[in-house]
Amino acid sequence: MKLRVCLIIPTLDQGGAEKQISLLARGLDRNAFEAIVIVLTRTGPRERELLESGIAVHHINKRAKLDPFAWLRLRKLLKQLKPDIVHTWLFAANAYGRTAAWSARVPVILGSERSVDPWKNAFQFWVDRCLAKRTHGLTANSQGTIDFCQQHGLDSKSFHLIPNGIEPIEPSTLTRAQACERMGVSADRRIILSVGRLWAQKGYKDLLWAAELLRVMREDICYVIIGDGPDRERLELYRDNIRGASQIFFLGARTDVHELLPHCDILWNGSLYEGQSNVILEAMQSGVAVIATDIPGNRELIEHDRTGLLYPLGNVDDLTRYSNQLLKDEPRRKRITTNALQHVQQEHSVEQMISRHEDIYRAKVANP
């Protein structure tokens, strides 16, 4: 008999958690599991791939932070679906989903913490602690996330560590010249890329300043940013004020990152905090050297000078120096990218990620 698993998440945007939940739902063994995705707030680009794979997607249409009618709709849906397992992802879904699942008498209820979240206030941490006491377990994608939660009162023994999985990459169908044309950059430039939402967490201001310093040093680089967000206008103004407009390009949100990424020389990640970056994993798998902030989530993916380079948070000088060194030292860059690819293949396959979830689901149903 199949186990029915309801995966609840706030949105189906292009974020890391949304990608992992899509991979999980589409990859669960169809002979043993029936996956259903419930979207709390709004849909997004991930819905299409779920529907095309035959995964049912339900919408709750939560309209405010505190929306009791959305909670009632969610509880009603869970009573209708009668899942064996509810697995909630991210704070809003963790709060609404687990309480609704208790009320609907779902046999097994799991939560998931996906990032170090310093934005949470005391009340939100209190909610996390209260809900965790009535949850059959929690999943997390990094030890850094578990350590952070433990610091705020959650029992680390309740967590199951499941690193993010990444699909095998298909070779880019573009030549380098075609990729450069798509990005609007000259093919004779060394390309540094960042991918992510344009907001404070991603540390773009430091990255922009490093790009301008590096451009002055070398005169052969350009910096490309893919993504959109609330800080775009402010960051573009900052770029213009530091005279970097000629070689710093904001491309907005795109769906062809996987084709452009292999033609870049370095990926920069300037995050102030992370759970586990899908973009870093994708760069490592694509043969692109990664330079990232030395924070817990990144530290679990990157061993300094072996699978990438880590620089202290806010240290633009080190970021600039490391980038210049890698661009000049091709054997070192090749060694790092080779090690990084091996690490991803050994530790971050989609198959491993799905199998670990399946094992937890079976174990919790057998012994809640």
Half-sphere exposure (CA, 13 Å, Cβ side) for 119? 9
Residue given tokens 């000088």 in the structure block: 317
Question: What does the alpha-carbon distance between residue 89 and residue 125 come to, in Å, rounded to a whole number?
Answer: 15
Question: What does the alpha-carbon distance between residue 11 and residue 46 come to, in Å, rounded to a whole number?
Answer: 9
Q: For the chain, what is the mean pLDDT?
A: 95
Question: What is the edge-to-edge ordering of all strands in the sheet holding 137-140?
Answer: 56-59, 33-42, 3-11, 85-88, 108-113, 137-140, 159-161
pLDDT of residue 243: 84
Q: Which fold has domain 3-165+349-366?
A: Rossmann fold (3.40.50)
CA quadruple 48, 351, 92, 15: dihedral sign? negative
Boundaries of every domain in the chain: 3-165+349-366, 176-347
**Which of 84 and 216 is assigned the larger pLDDT?**
84
Q: For residues 24-44, give the mean pLDDT.
A: 97
* DSSP structural state of residue 187: T
Give yes or no on whether 3-165+349-366 and 176-347 have one common fold: yes
The CATH superfamily of 176-347 is Glycogen Phosphorylase B; (3.40.50.2000)
pLDDT of residue 126: 95
Q: What value does the CA radius of gyration of the chain take, rounded to a whole number of Å? A: 21
- CB–CB of 270/202 below 8 Å? yes
Strand, coil or helix: what is 153? coil
Whether the pLDDT of residue 289 is over 90: the answer is yes
DSSP H helices, the chain, are 16-27, 46-52, 68-81, 91-103, 122-132, 143-151, 176-183, 204-218, 232-241, 257-260, 278-285, 296-299, 316-328, 330-347, 350-366
Q: For residues 285-297, give the mean pLDDT.
A: 96
Neighbours of 55 (CB within 10 A): 18
Q: For residues 74-81, give the mean pLDDT.
A: 98
* Six token digits for residue 59: 């919408």
